[in-house]
Structure 1
Amino acid sequence: MVSAPLLRLEGVARTVTLPDGGALQILRSVDLTVEEGDHVGIVGRSGTGKSTLLNILGLLDRPTAGTVELDGVPAATFSARRAAQVRGRQIGFVFQQFNLLPGRTALENVAHPLLYGTAAEVRTRKRRALEVLERLGLAHRAAQLPARLSGGEQQRVAIARALVRRPRLLLADEPTGALDVETGGVVMDLLAETAAESSAALITITHDAAIASRANRRFTLEGGELR
């Protein structure tokens, strides 16, 4: 029996209504299949629908047409609570702006997602967070607040936070946009390596063709269409 892909989009479109009552089509008939362990790069300029596509891939938004399936199950059948559970347990997000909690240490930022996990995850959250920070070479910075960390260190904390619940799907939104070329390369290497270790799928959405070219499969998002 052939198993369903981890993620499948078929004919996905997204249209929003403008204040004047008109319609703006952001995505048009997007097809994409992602298997476990895939590394997919999607490149597109600003305004091409990258953020909209990311939100749909991460079950933060629903398309106005087409289907999104996770393990063969249509995401449209998920309640809001079920979608949140899937995001928390199976999807890790790495954002360009890091979105770290300023009043929490690096360790507390990484452990934060585990507060909403199982009883065992809550009990062992600090140990698990420290393990992930150590993998990323930041165990010695665990007690520091984000303001005391460099940009590259903050990005690695954000990656650790995305990895702490061992997600099956990693979504990276312009993960190197705020970094210099050398640090950006290191960050992408870390993302690819840590995803490969757990057979997680990695989807990188970026405006930088060089970053997207690191992926095994590469697409261009233009005019709302994925090519």
Structure 2
Amino acid sequence: MSGTDAAPAPATELLSLRHVSRSVPIAEGQTLTILADIDLEVGAGEHIGIVGRSGTGKSTLLNILGLLDAPSTGTMEFAGEPVQQIARNRAAEIRGRDIGFVFQQFNLLPGRTAVENVEAPLMYGTGREFRNRRRLAAAMLERLGLGDRIDMKPNRLSGGEQQRVAIARSLVREPKLVLADEPTGALDVETGRQVMEILDGITKDSGAALITITHDLAVANMASRQFSLSQGRLNPIVDGATAEALAGELP
């Protein structure tokens, strides 16, 4: 064995998109291309930032990554499984077990407490996960600094606290992939930064991949790799000039 340190093993590939496009019919014999020739590989534990203005295909890409929609052309694999070969009920199972979603508007149940909101995904679990759902939900809220807020309803929580409850809900089943759709859009700058640091830290600790889709370059720049989505095409942001040019396009 040589004295040279071995190179670290590459991250296990979780997502692989090859030449993925998505088109929809708009009139007889006519289609609109929303995504064009997307290539993306995401390893377990990676944080990817995708930035683009409204109308560039961000929601369509999110739906494909979250197995809510399928590519029109190209191939996609999730944890080595070709998405085009996954039956609808299997896709729903993967979404419930292995994919967590964080949204801009929190989407909390207003009549339920914080811990009841976080418990919700565990209601579809089995065995110990189902039986221990309240303990697991409370423990996740504790990790997010909300141990003293578990019995409060959303209207008694600040915007940052509501987003942390939403993050806890997305992580409580220990997903392999977390998709964050404009997760700071409803928050002020400082609260948004704190929320992203929490989300980034917890996903790194758990080994989950995190994909943040945003119009905010500062949020995207917290990721280890950044991409711009423009006119349906995904391109790596490789230098400051690219980022500055993109910033001029964003609202």
Same fold? TM cut 0.5: yes
Structure 1 residue 19 displacement after superposition: 5.3
2:15 corresponding residue in structure 1:
7
Matched AA of 2:201: E
Instruction: Give me the whole-angstrom Cα distance separating, in 2, the residues matched to 1:191 and 1:98.
Output: 14
Instruction: Give me the whole-angstrom Cα distance separating, in 2, the residues matched to 1:25 and 1:150.
Output: 40
Structure 1 residue 73 displacement after superposition: 1.4
Counterpart check, 1:113 vs 2:141:
no
Query: Which residue of 83, 97, 103 corresponds with 1:89?
Result: 97
Instruction: Give me the whole-angstrom Cα distance separating, in 2, the residues matched to 1:21 and 1:156.
Output: 46
Counterpart check, 1:166 vs 2:171:
no
Structure 1 residue 54 displacement after superposition: 0.5
Structure 1 residue 70 displacement after superposition: 1.1
1:130 corresponding residue in structure 2:
138
Sequence identity, in percent?
62
Larger-gyration structure (1/2):
2
2:244 corresponding residue in structure 1:
none
2:231 corresponding residue in structure 1:
223
Return 5+ residue gaps in structure 2 as ranges.
1-9, 236-251
Instruction: Give me the whole-angstrom Cα distance separating, in 1, the residues matched to 2:146 and 2:25.
Output: 45
Instruction: Give me the whole-angstrom Cα distance separating, in 2, the residues matched to 1:12 and 1:214.
Output: 26
Query: Which residue of 211, 219, 236 corresponds with 1:203?
Result: 211
Structure 1 residue 132 displacement after superposition: 0.3
Instruction: Give me the whole-angstrom Cα distance separating, in 2, the residues matched to 1:107 and 1:25.
Output: 42
1:178 corresponding residue in structure 2:
186
* Deviation larger for 19-28 or 50-59: 19-28
> Cα deviation per residue 1:26-49 (whole Å; 9 max; x = unaligned)?
000000000011110000000000
1:19–1:31 CA distance, 2 compared to 1 (3 A): same
Query: Which residue of 31, 34, 37 corresponds with 2:42?
Result: 34
1:53 corresponding residue in structure 2:
61
Counterpart check, 1:69 vs 2:80:
no
The answer to whether the 8 Å contact 1:4/1:72 transfers is no
Tell me the TM-score normalized by structure 1.
0.97
What's the RMSD between the two structures over aligned residues?
1.3
Instruction: Give me the whole-angstrom Cα distance separating, in 2, the residues matched to 1:19 and 1:94.
Output: 34
For these two proteins, the number of residue pairs brought into alignment is 226
Matched AA of 1:134: E
Structure 1 residue 155 displacement after superposition: 0.2
Secondary structure in structure 1 of the residue aligned to 2:13? coil
Instruction: Give me the whole-angstrom Cα distance separating, in 2, the residues matched to 1:140 and 1:158.
Output: 16
1:219–1:3 CA distance, 2 compared to 1 (3 A): closer
Tell me the TM-score normalized by structure 2.
0.87
> Cα deviation per residue 1:117-170 (whole Å; 9 max; x = unaligned)?
112211100000000000001111111111111111100000000000001111
1:147 corresponding residue in structure 2:
155
Matched AA of 1:49: G
Structure 1 residue 22 displacement after superposition: 3.0
